[in-house]
Structure 1
Amino acid sequence: MNNNNALLIIDMQQEDGFVLEHFDSTVNNIAALLDTARQQRVPVIYTRHINQADGSDMPRGEPRAADGGPSSYRAGTRQVEILERLAPRADELIVDKGRYSAFHRTDLDARLKALRVETLIVSGVLTDVCVLSSVLDAFALGYHVRLVSDACTTTTLAGHYSSLLIMANWVYALEILTCAQCLHALCDRAYVSLAPQQPDQFAHQPHELENTIARLHSHLVRTQE
């Protein structure tokens, strides 16, 4: 088993409360990562965002339904289950969480250390919420992170790329790469990625945001050549 890497699939659940950009292609890319990780015997770990049905574990301000329970990701409903296309096998770990980060009040870090994982391959949703917070915590805990840019998504492309820019600016133990290049990496083949070389490498002022996103996107497209 390749214990240096683990594939983390964040919150790819039935919950459909948000319309997500390029969701079908994101699912396809995660499925490709999943198939290759299994072939290469790389550990696969899923997270599920779940709130208790009575709302007792919800953070302040979290949206609630009329009965006071969570308006989404409610325990005991079909919506919290993993998408059938990406269904976990019996021997694959599922980590349930009640907050954005996969590490907050979970045993994920202990599980990864038990597997001697050093590099965490990150995919899933939402780029600007659970993916972002999980990557920041993984960095703080000492992991090398490979973030698969087209195996993540959120409600807007602006939110997606803005989050990639934040991580590229400040997560020093980070590689951002496409699914195609990550598949090369999983198979120990030559690959290319965007690895931050300095703090605030993609610094920009508000009026420059669109051009900076285009610069990041252009770099990621070039990595597919």
Structure 2
Amino acid sequence: MNNKNALLIIDMQQEDGFVLEHFDTVVANTAALLETARHQRVPVIYTRHINQADGSDLPRGEPRAADGGPSSYRAGTRQVEILDQLTPQPAEHIVDKGRYSAFHRTDLDARLKALEVDTLIISGVLTDVCVLSSVFDAFALGYRIRLVSDACTTTTLAGHHSALLIMANWVYALEILTSRQCLRALEHLDYLSLIPEHPDCFAHQPHEFESTIARLNTHLARTQE
């Protein structure tokens, strides 16, 4: 890896409104990334999804509680705070956002430019929502992206793999790697990763979905060797 990386941890918050697949493993993998990034002096940036308690900043159609406020990620509640296992250190950046993408109406791009970052190591939740949106925006803004596959998750494994396949198909600046291999990269050791070689390289029809997931996992499993 080059020396212009930043670790972007997306929405790893106390919010418990969603049951997430293999979440304990994702938290543990993220904690390992965080420890190594700090040791290697890689900048760390967290995002928090937060909506105003009165619901005034909610997008059209967003689920609301009985009082009209947001049904989740409500400002002023414990649920919007970062998980205890991943508590930010005082010098680390926290970017609050009210939409899926970490870049939408935030100063994240400006902060990254100030740090001279050109490559984002991305982990967090949900793979098929906030991670997906943030990856596409990062790509549009010119960043290289290293997505840590087992430090992300969502509500179903199908959703998780669908998002990985979409990104592998169309984000040309993308590299997908496991947390084990990312740790090696952060430590400046040889590592393995999946770099898509051409557009739509994981193209599939509905009946091929399971076999395409297996093909993706086969590529990623090789990076564990």
- Return the letter of the residue paired with 1:104: H
Question: Is residue 207 of structure 2 the alignment partner of residue 203 of structure 1?
Answer: no
Q: Deviations over 1:145-182 (max 9, x none)?
A: 00000000000000000100000000000000000000
CA distance in 2, matches of 1:143, 1:66: 41
The answer on whether the counterparts of 1:3 and 1:116 sit within 8 Å (CA) in structure 2 is no
User: Hey, what does 1:48 align to over in structure 2?
Assistant: 48
Spell out structure 1 runs of 4+ moving beyond 2 A. none
CA distance in 2, matches of 1:136, 1:213: 21
Q: Deviations over 1:58-84 (max 9, x none)?
A: 000000000000000000000000000
- Return the letter of the residue paired with 2:17: G
The answer on whether the counterparts of 1:50 and 1:75 sit within 8 Å (CA) in structure 2 is yes
User: Hey, what does 2:223 align to over in structure 1?
Assistant: 223
CA distance in 2, matches of 1:66, 1:57: 16
CA distance in 2, matches of 1:104, 1:201: 29
* Ranges in structure 1 where 5+ consecutive residues have no aligned partner: none
Question: Is residue 120 of structure 2 the alignment partner of residue 124 of structure 1?
Answer: no
User: Hey, what does 1:163 align to over in structure 2?
Assistant: 163
Give me the identity figure in percent.
Answer: 82
Q: Deviations over 1:97-137 (max 9, x none)?
A: 00000000000000000000011000000000000000000
The number of residue pairs the alignment matches comes to 224
User: Hey, what does 1:10 align to over in structure 2?
Assistant: 10
Q: Deviations over 1:167-212 (max 9, x none)?
A: 0000000000000000011111111100011000000001101100
3-state SS of paired residue (1:37):
helix
Give the superposition deviation at 1:222.
1.1
* C-alpha RMSD over aligned residues: 0.7
Matches within 5 A, 1:1-225: 4-225=4-225
* Ranges in structure 2 where 5+ consecutive residues have no aligned partner: none
CA distance in 1, matches of 2:189, 2:137: 28
- Return the letter of the residue paired with 2:39: Q
Give the superposition deviation at 1:218.
1.3
3-state SS of paired residue (2:76):
coil
CA distance in 1, matches of 2:102, 2:144: 15
